[in-house]
Amino acid sequence: METEVKETKGQVVSAENPGIVAPADWQPVIMGILCNWCSYAGSDLTGTSRIQYPPNIRIIRVPCSSRVDPWFIIKSLQTSADGVLISGCHPGDCHYISGNYYARRRFLVTKKLLNFVGYHENRIQFSWVSAAEGPKFAKVVAKVTEDIKKLGPLHKYKKENLK
């Protein structure tokens, strides 16, 4: 059963839909889709180096950033995520030679499309993080989390979302 929270003060309001509100301590859920060879290894390094970063991200590993189908992003935003981060190898470093170039083009088109249908552009972000850039991965996640916190929730708030 849904336990919707109704509050009048200290609310966070969705940038896209003023009818969607959450308590001030609301935390966004971010879907992180990372390529196996660079960004996922970078996130792993962040963990093994014990670098702190916001726990808002839920990571999915894909073989290459070019594997990210726009449908993954759309489905994430439609169902549970408040934002999506896609991260791959730096230009020229893709394990599959040019996959990240395709990913970047596809990402830009998807972002424009989602912006056109009403999603704020900061809900969908892209980054390059190598396997040696643990600290950079932490910074990217912190920035994306802050950006999405400013945009508020994308889904009807449920009490279970509160930690």
Q: How far is the CB of 131 from ligand FES (least distance, A)?
A: 9
Residue (41 or 144) nearer to ligand FES, CB? 41
Residue 28 identity:
P
How is residue 77 annotated by DSSP? H
Neighbours of 44 (CB within 10 A): 16
User: Cα separation of 71 and 17, whole Å?
Assistant: 22
How is residue 89 annotated by DSSP? P
Q: How far is the CB of 22 from ligand FES (least distance, A)?
A: 34
Q: How far is the CB of 105 from ligand FES (least distance, A)?
A: 13
Residue (21 or 45) nearer to ligand FES, CB? 45
Q: Which residues bind ligand FES (CB under 6 A)?
A: 35, 37-38, 64-66, 88-89, 94-96, 99-100
Residue (95 or 149) nearer to ligand FES, CB? 95
Pure H helices in 16-58: 39-48
Residue (27 or 66) nearer to ligand FES, CB? 66
Q: What tokens were used for 73?
A: 């992003």
